[in-house]
């Protein structure tokens, strides 16, 4: 199948490379010439485990990139994977996606038939009200518009694409062309197995419902994290290890063990943006989403709790504090809504000298803190530090040992259960 993917960010690059790996001929379309050049040279423009290998393997063969939307008519199906960031009021900014939809519609003006699939996360009414009219402006019914929300986690996006727990196809009632195209596109995955060894379930529904599945999915997961963090904050007051509690309740199949790692909270692009969007949309419809508000409030309070724990052990004003981890989670260089950002800002407000380290995310964090002292290793960050804060649970931090001996005082506040306590260390877990 010939497939085009418009947008080469975290989602677009991953699905383009994975679709090429499944045997499709894929063209990635992006307005950034630098990204296009990188893909054509076999280099991934983002850090994502396994993605470098796929791009390198298929570039120049089943995967190529261009800035020209005129490549779309030569394909059978187009995915739109344009970012939809948050506005200041929490609503989503669809301007870039609308512009891409318009250019897609212009490029497809003379096709006999084509299927456009919206991968970008948008509210249920956006596809029909704002995107489809632009996409179908010239070709009308010769172009079908469908949705196929993505559920890939940064840090494991390649694995999640190739081993999905579900596929959601949103099409207009009676649009067999779009539904058939989605089935054909994903046919190589239909014999795959989920993590539980089951065949991959396919959810066939309408366009608005498919998009709401995405929002509900992320809202539920984010709320689960905030709930275990709230429980963890209470456990901390009693000196109870929240992870023991999580292990026990996770055995209940109504709860499950996933997303019960209490700590500093969630960040990234999806959870914050999607919760803000659905909360804003609910209020526009006259409903107050109290549970989702609470999930956000708990999450926003966790960095401050970490700083309060630090203040129990050290006078932060004038202290040298090492911050270990800048990415919002391990396995990615993405710092969007990273919990390290409010932690660093809070340290600076309290007069601390901050030295930070992350194995891959330093360059992206410079956009937020250009004058921060960035170390080239965890050992360098810890040297002569009065305290250390663990904000991302990179595997390499678990192996740290003698490096703590170089600290001025071995005070460690761990927001991710990311390091092993040792003799001589004053160790505090955020929720355990």
Alpha helices per DSSP H over 41-124: 51-58, 95-107
3-state secondary structure of 171: coil
How many C-beta atoms lie closer than 10 Å to residue 143's C-beta?
23
| pLDDT tens, N- to C-terminus, the chain (432 residues) | 999 999 999 999 999 999 999 999 999 999 999 999 999 999 999 999 999 999 999 999 999 999 999 999 999 999 999 999 999 999 999 999 999 999 999 999 999 999 999 999 999 999 999 999 999 999 889 999 999 999 999 999 999 999 999 999 999 999 999 999 999 999 998 876 666 667 899 999 999 999 999 999 999 999 999 999 999 999 999 999 999 999 999 999 999 999 999 999 999 999 999 999 999 999 999 999 999 999 999 999 999 999 999 999 999 999 999 999 999 999 999 999 999 999 999 999 999 999 999 999 999 999 999 999 999 999 999 999 999 999 999 999 999 999 999 999 999 999 999 999 999 999 999 999
User: For helices 290-311 and 340-349, what crossing angle results, to 10°?
Assistant: 50
Out of 18, 185, 235, 270, the active site residue is: 270
428 phi/psi in degrees, rounded to 5? -130, 125
* CATH number of this structure's domain 2-205: 3.40.50.720
Of 85, 138, 83, 146, nearest to 111 (Cα)? 138
Select from 177, 103, 190, 102 the least CA-distant residue to 141: 177
Distance CA 2, CA 24 (A): 6
**CA 420 to CA 139: how far, in whole Å?**
61
Q: How far is CA 248 from CA 196, 252, 257, 261, in A?
A: 20, 8, 9, 12
Residues of the chain with CATH 3.40.50.720: 2-205, 240-432
Tally of residues, the chain? 432
φ, ψ for residue 65 (rounded to 5)?
-130, 155
Largest CA distance in the chain: 73
* Buried b or exposed e, range 256-295, using 16+ CB within 10 angstroms: eeebbbbbbbbbbbbbbbbbbbbbbbeeeeeeebeebeeb
Question: Under CATH, which number does the domain 240-432 receive?
Answer: 3.40.50.720
Can 270 be counted among the known catalytic residues? yes
CB 392 within 8 A of CB 358: yes
Q: Which residue has the tokens 């579900």?
A: 166
Per DSSP (E only), the strands in 103-170 are 114-118, 143-147, 167-170
Q: What is the pLDDT of residue 198?
A: 78
- Count of CB atoms situated within 10 Å of the CB of 196: 6
- As a whole number of angstroms, the distance between CA 180 and CA 176 comes to 6
Give yes or no for a contact between 318 and 386, defined as CB atoms under 8 angstroms apart.
Answer: no
CA dihedral 150, 152, 158, 161 (to 10 degrees): -40
């Amino acid at each position: 199948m010939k497939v085009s993917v418009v947008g080469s960010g975290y989602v677009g690059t991953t699905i383009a490379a994975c679709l090429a790996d499944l045997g499709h001929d894929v063209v990635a379309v992006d307005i950034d010439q630098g990204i296009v050049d990188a893909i054509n040279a076999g280099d991934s423009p983002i850090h994502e485990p396994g993605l470098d290998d796929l791009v390198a393997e298929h570039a120049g063969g089943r995967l190529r990139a261009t800035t020209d939307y005129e490549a779309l008519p030569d394909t059978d199906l187009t995915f739109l994977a344009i970012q939809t960031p948050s506005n200041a009021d929490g609503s989503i900014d669809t301007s870039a996606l609308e512009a891409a939809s318009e250019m897609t519609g212009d490029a497809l003006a003379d096709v006999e038939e084509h299927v456009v699939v919206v991968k970008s996360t948008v509210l249920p009414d956006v596809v029909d009200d704002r995107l489809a009219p632009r996409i179908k402006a010239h070709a009308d019914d010769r172009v079908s518009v469908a949705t196929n929300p993505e559920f890939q986690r940064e840090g494991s996006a390649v694995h999640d694409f190739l081993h999905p727990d579900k596929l959601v196809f949103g099409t207009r009632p009676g649009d067999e062309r779009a539904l058939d195209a989605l089935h054909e596109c994903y046919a190589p995955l239909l014999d795959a197995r989920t993590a539980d060894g089951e065949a991959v379930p396919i959810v066939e529904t309408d366009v608005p419902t498919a998009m709401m599945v995405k929002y509900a999915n992320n809202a539920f997961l984010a709320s689960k994290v905030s709930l275990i963090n709230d429980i963890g904050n209470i456990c901390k007051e009693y000196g109870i290890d929240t992870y023991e509690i999580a292990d026990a309740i996770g055995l209940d199949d109504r709860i499950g063990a996933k997303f019960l790692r209490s700590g500093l909270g969630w960040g990234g692009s999806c959870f914050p943006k999607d919760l803000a969007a659905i909360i804003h949309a609910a209020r526009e419809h006259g409903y107050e989403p109290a549970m989702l508000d609470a999930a956000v409030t708990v999450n926003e309070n966790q960095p401050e709790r970490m700083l309060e724990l630090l203040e129990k052990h050290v006078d932060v004003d004038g202290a040298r504090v090492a911050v270990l981890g800048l990415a919002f989670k391990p396995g990615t260089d993405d710092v969007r809504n990273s919990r390290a950002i409010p932690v660093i800002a809070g340290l600076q407000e309290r007069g601390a000298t901050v030295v930070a380290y992350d194995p891959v995310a330093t360059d992206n964090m410079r956009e937020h803190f250009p004058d921060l002292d960035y170390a080239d290793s965890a050992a360098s960050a810890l040297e002569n530090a009065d305290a250390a804060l663990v904000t991302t649970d990179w595997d390499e931090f678990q192996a740290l040992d003698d490096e703590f001996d170089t600290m001025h005082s071995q005070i460690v506040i761990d927001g991710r259960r990311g390091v092993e306590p040792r003799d001589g260390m004053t160790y505090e877990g955020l929720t355990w």
